Amino acid sequence: MRTYRLRTTALATATAALALALTACGGSDSAGGATADPAATKGADKPVSTGTVTPSGEGSAAPSAGKGTGTGTGTGTVTTTPAKAGSGGKDTGNTGDSYAYAHPCKARDLTVKVTSPTGAPATVRVITVTNNGSTSCGLDYFPTLGFSAKGGALGLQATAPGGLGGAPAYPVHPGATAYAAVNLNPSGGAGPVADEVNVLADKEHMPNADGVSLPLPKPGSVANPKVGLYRTNAHDALNAF
């Protein structure tokens, strides 16, 4: 304890002497200016969403807050009847069907993708919409689809089944995916060749700005296109027509 006091006294004396010397000489730090605190100038990391095309040729796009687009890779969910079936989860808290019925999906929480499944008819593609959020959400019965060629809209929109009713929305639980098949040319008639599909996951609750344009894995002729209802898997989606 004594040693500590002696060292403290010596340090104080040296400090006082140094201060006195600087005052007498009228000295100051010629470099001037405070040193910036690195922590204060470091920018906060911000999440960034980008669109991608997978190596397998499946188009995908990630939704962004300003551009509600769908993203990522998908695995779908949809009912096989006009009244949408649940995605299999229990109706508890904010991850059940009841919560989904009252809370439409937000584009920023969704991943939208278009695929050309092996074994599917040449004119059929499958749209998948994945819920990346932590709560369940509800989609319209089917996605709204338009088509483009070399960036120009073809003015064609896929028609959906009529006479729908039942549950107020198609529930998509956290991490689940909804699948909807689209037949570009059911009758095999003559039509322009589309290389892009424009997808709005839920026209009932989303503005057109939340749509996403995705390259078709395989461009195809489009004539009187039809889209099926959301289903819980690709097999059911392909059998929807």
pLDDT band for 45, please (50, 70, 90 cuts).
very low
Comparison of pLDDT for 185 and 13, the residue scoring more: 185
Buried b (16+ CB within 10 A) or exposed e, 54-81: eeeebbbbbbbeebbbbbbbbbbbbbbe
Instruction: Over range 130-144, report the average pLDDT.
Output: 97
Cα angle 50-176-161, degrees, rounded to a multiple of 5 = 95
What pLDDT sits at residue 91?
54
Percentage of the chain modeled with pLDDT above 70 = 62
What pLDDT sits at residue 241?
73
Q: Report residue 153 as tokens.
A: 């809209």
pLDDT band for 70, please (50, 70, 90 cuts).
very low
Q: pLDDT tens, 150-193?
A: 989 999 999 998 877 788 999 999 999 999 999 999 998 899 99
What pLDDT sits at residue 61?
53
What pLDDT sits at residue 34?
35
Instruction: Over range 119-131, report the average pLDDT.
Output: 95
Q: Does the pLDDT value for residue 111 go beyond 90?
A: yes
Residue of 202, 68, 178 lying closest to 127 (CA atoms):
178
202 touches 173 (CB < 8 A): no
Comparison of pLDDT for 162 and 128, the residue scoring more: 128
Task: Give DSSP secondary structure letters for the chain.
Answer: -HHHHHHHHHHHHHHHHHHHHHHHHT---TT-SPPPPHHHHPPPP------EE-TTS-EEE---SSS----S-------SSSSPPP-S----GGGSHHHHHHSB--GGGEEEEEE--TTS-TTEEEEEEEE-SSS-EEE-SS-EEEEEETTEEEEEE-B--SS--SSSSEEE-TT-EEEEEEES-TT----PEEEEEEEES-TTTS-GGG-EEEEEEEEEE-SS-EE---BSSHHHHHT--
CA distance 63 to 226: 25
Per the prediction, the chain carries an average pLDDT of 72
Q: pLDDT tens, 207-226?
A: 999 999 999 999 999 999 99
Q: Does the pLDDT value for residue 120 go beyond 50?
A: yes
Q: Report residue 177 as tokens.
A: 């995916």
pLDDT band for 60, please (50, 70, 90 cuts).
low
Choose the weakest-confidence range: 137-141, 186-190, 224-228, 231-235.
186-190
What pLDDT sits at residue 92?
62
Comparison of pLDDT for 57 and 230, the residue scoring more: 230
Q: Which residues contact 66 (CB under 8 A, 6 or more apart)?
A: none
pLDDT band for 2, please (50, 70, 90 cuts).
very low
CA distance 202 to 209: 12
